[in-house]
Structure 1
């Protein structure tokens, strides 16, 4: 029975979504070239669930969506949440941050307005920001073609640790002081002599 449990564990672990007992049976029957009774599969899944219910494991086998999958136990939700948040922060590319900042400061803004500022096509970046739920569709513009208007979302606020858009730095916060040490001296533009 152990060999059956190992195969079932491997199938549950590798399945991209919850795997149904019928699909497990079909895989095992094809592999062993013999019918594997559903009763044996159900018993083995139950023993696997008992095994991973022990405190020694951080994950368990859960039945959801009509199938089985490995999920981490609720006790580890906080540490996983931190990891996902850190990974999400790292995944924002320079172009995504640039696009996001334009949306944050100019919202509500159309994609063509973003593209005019950036000078490049923003379809992919806007789609990724929508998928990450950092921006959302705020409506449609009254201009020709009624393009979508984009703005930041609640998740954007949480992501950057702010409660209001007024907390975003203003352009003057980025201005360089005239007397700053190490700032380049202003050079006079070379004059162009006429022949």
Structure 2
């Protein structure tokens, strides 16, 4: 008997109380719209987080095996009910076409740096990119892909940026721990290209000049 069959058999054997928990969780996820932390789902059914997790995963499985238009996705330690992406074209026939956010190469590059280095300041982003990044960071904040997570304990208290849940949803990632691992060979090649570009520039600054500029930037 395969795992799928075993799971289906398990669904049939759950108690009426467990079915009631699933119904409560379904109602909460549908009503809230946004993601709901596991601890809040546990509070809703009056059980511990293990029972809540088992209930929401059973419910998720029911939606998946039933080929329903809705699905339940996991975002780190939270769950959300949302529409399946394959039905998007059908939805826009009866709803206003949403404004599509186009991420330019510059914005994507900035987002990648934040995703892998978070939490990170604008100054750190600019050191990696070699150019000012105010516009790109502001766009990412506007698109709700990154947010200000805190302030660095340094002169000027520069803002620290990290990715949002919308980022996870947008790119189909359950957690930032699941980000693709960069190929070390490719990373080394990129690093070499950047160093070559910098060494060939006529605008290179001395270490002292660089320190002064960094300090001035942080104070701003």
TM-score range, shorter chain: 0.3 to 0.5
TM-score, normalising length: structure 1: 0.45
**In proportion to residue count, which structure has more helix?**
2
Please identify the structure whose Cα radius of gyration is greater.
1
